[in-house]
């Protein structure tokens, strides 16, 4: 099942070949014929994925997926999961990967963890989980998000204070909600951790975070790369004692706990990486580590991320300003209907993925004037939390299943194009876009190239953040071992793309899509204030 990133034996091994001969991981001295394995774990809304990367072969040597479900029966606006289920899923996924590795599991050197942008875990003095975690899409804390914004002069004041404006999906708003609505739980808490830091704490026993994870909470000052004293004081001074220390992105947080090492048949010398948020590590998996590079991930959500060596400050608060997983900063645009809109149409007509794409390909760009605003579940960017889908430009000629398919695909791509346009407004000018994720089909690659107006180059990994977590674990392992390894170096070694799959934009089609994007945004700007969207 090995999935290659780069053909083994190419000259881009660089310093890794030397490192593979000198560093001692759990199994002993590495020789030229011995493989080192690094595990990456991703906690997502739908389940937990684990991958093992064979570093010398530059391939995925094992992979496992374990689903977990939402808590049912909650009030409207609540979306919560039990963090204990994440532990159970991570344990199962890791065991499956180790079973696939067989005797090679003795060569596992380090483990890294990626987690969702939102997923606060509260622990008490005995390390018990205080309450379930709220995840993205939970709107129960809207009042508290608004209260925080008012206290600091709205979004512009918050951006001036910390470089970002924490909103409805922030841990900042959630902490204030807990204090006001569940004071007993808030008083019991002695530790607040993101989902990835919680799993990393379970793995290592070390309570810490990296700047990337911390920047997703809304409690972090991007410019100083430290917790915001002003925000903590406003919500509750107690937060200063509950939040973990921030560690470097290229150093391990500690070793695997002895009890887990025994259960899994691993050495206690296996290291646990700092970990980070899924968008940060997916961007790393796309090979975007140098300033100015941009990656797009297509999964359950669409993510457009640009890397910079200084904070990406957006006073319109559309592009999320964050720290990345490699010691720098990033700007992030998110669209929530990438998978939903096409799936609704496929389900309605009973199409397979291939049949859907054939329908899209059968209609010329622009769908003969049919335009879909694909906000079936609300949208993150543009900010339409209660949005709905709108089909505009219907005529007798274009009201066909094939035209609807084309309009759905184009509506999704134009939404990503809007996110990209906001990065361009903030100074990004990428020569190409790195694309990863299960939604990276030939049709979608060409469509995005035409919308973006620059080449789109897919990378070979569809496992995104899990692969990025393993890559970060490798960097931290080698640096801790006294053999410095940079994020750029490991990205150039592990991340590859097939030149034959690279899509170039068509200038005329790009001009058409620019006009359609303007039309789409005009409809949003007109319908939303009037209460129709």
What's the pLDDT at 220? 97
pLDDT tens-digit readout, 187-206: 999 999 999 999 999 999 99
pLDDT tens-digit readout, 322-366: 999 999 999 999 888 888 889 999 999 999 999 999 999 999 999
All domains of the chain in start order, with CATH: 3-279+462-494 (3.30.420.40), 288-458+503-533 (3.30.420.40)
Confidence of residue 533 (pLDDT cuts 50, 70, 90): confident
Q: Does the pLDDT at position 420 exceed 50?
A: yes
pLDDT tens-digit readout, 79-106: 999 999 999 999 999 999 999 999 999 9
Predicted TM-score (pTM) of the model is 0.88
Q: Which DSSP string corresponds to 325-391?
A: TTSSEEEEEEES-TTHHHHHHHHHHT--HHHHHHHHHTS-TTGGG-EEE--BTBBTTTTBTT---EE
Confidence of residue 462 (pLDDT cuts 50, 70, 90): low
> Which of the residue ranges 230-239, 395-404, 480-489, 507-516 would you say has the lowest mean pLDDT?
480-489
What integer is the mean pLDDT of 453-470? 87
What's the pLDDT at 392? 96
Q: What residue ranges in 44-193 does DSSP mark as E strands?
A: 47-54, 59-67, 80-81, 108-115, 121-123, 133-134, 191-193
Please name the helix (run of DSSP H) or strand (run of DSSP E) that holds residue 130, with its range, or none: none
SS3 154: helix
Torsion sign, CA atoms 482, 487, 490, 492: negative
Average pLDDT, the chain: 89
Q: Does the pLDDT at position 498 exceed 80?
A: no
Max Cα-Cα span within the chain:
71
Confidence of residue 137 (pLDDT cuts 50, 70, 90): confident
């Amino acid at each position: 099942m090995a999935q290659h990133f780069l053909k083994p034996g190419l000259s881009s091994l660089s310093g890794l070949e030397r490192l593979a001969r000198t560093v001692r991981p759990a199994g002993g001295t590495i020789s030229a014929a011995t493989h080192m394995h690094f595990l990456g774990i991703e906690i997502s809304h739908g389940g937990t994925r684990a991958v093992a990367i064979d570093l010398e072969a530059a391939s995925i040597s094992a992979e496992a997926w374990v689903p977990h479900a939402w808590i049912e029966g909650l009030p409207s606006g609540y979306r919560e999961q039990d963090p204990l289920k994440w532990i159970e899923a991570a344990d199962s996924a890791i065991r499956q990967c180790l079973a696939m590795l067989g005797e090679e599991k003795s060569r596992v050197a380090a483990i890294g963890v990626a987690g969702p942008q939102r997923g606060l875990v509260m622990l008490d003095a005995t390390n018990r989980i205080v309450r379930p975690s709220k995840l993205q899409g939970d709107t129960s804390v809207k009042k508290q998000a608004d209260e925080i914004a008012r206290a600091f002069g709205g979004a512009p004041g918050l951006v001036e204070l910390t470089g970002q404006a924490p909103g409805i999906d922030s841990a900042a708003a959630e902490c204030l909600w807990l204090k006001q609505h569940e004071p007993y739980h808030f008083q019991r808490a002695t530790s607040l951790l993101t989902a990835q830091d919680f799993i990393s704490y379970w793995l290592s026993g070390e309570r810490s975070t990296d700047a990337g994870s911390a920047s997703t909470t809304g409690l972090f000052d991007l410019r100083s790369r430290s917790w915001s004293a002003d925000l903590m004081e406003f919500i509750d001074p107690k937060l200063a004692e509950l939040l973990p220390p921030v560690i470097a992105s290229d150093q391990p947080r500690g070793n695997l706990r002895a009890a887990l090492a025994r259960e899994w048949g691993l050495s206690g010398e296996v290291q646990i990486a700092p970990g980070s948020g899924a968008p940060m590590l997916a961007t790393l998996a796309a090979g975007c580590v140098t300033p100015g590079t941009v990656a797009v991930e297509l999964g359950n959500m669409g993510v457009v991320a640009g890397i910079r060596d200084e904070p990406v400050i957006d006073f319109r608060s559309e592009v999320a300003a964050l720290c990345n997983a490699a010691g720098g900063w990033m700007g992030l645009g998110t669209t929530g209907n990438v998978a939903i809109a096409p799936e609704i149409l496929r389900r309605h007509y009973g199409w397979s993925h291939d049949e859907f794409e054939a329908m899209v390909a059968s209609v010329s760009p622009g769908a003969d004037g049919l335009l879909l605003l694909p906000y079936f579940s609300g949208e993150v960017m543009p900010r339409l939390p209660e949005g709905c889908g709108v089909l505009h430009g219907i005529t007798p000629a274009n009201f066909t299943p094939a035209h609807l398919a084309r309009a759905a695909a184009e509506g999704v791509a134009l939404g990503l194009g809007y996110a990209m346009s906001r990065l361009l407004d903030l100074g990004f000018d990428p020569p190409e876009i790195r694309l990863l994720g299960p939604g990276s089909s030939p049709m979608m690659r060409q469509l995005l190239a035409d919308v973006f107006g620059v080449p789109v180059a897919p990378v070979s990994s569809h496992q995104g953040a899990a692969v990025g977590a393993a890559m970060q674990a490798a960097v931290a392992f080698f640096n801790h071992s006294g053999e410095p390894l940079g994020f750029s170096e490991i990205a150039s070694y592990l991340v590859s793309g097939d030149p034959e799959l690279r899509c170039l934009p068509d200038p005329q089609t790009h001009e058409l899509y620019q006009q359609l994007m303007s039309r789409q945004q005009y409809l949003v700007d007109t319908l939303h204030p009037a209460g129709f969207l």
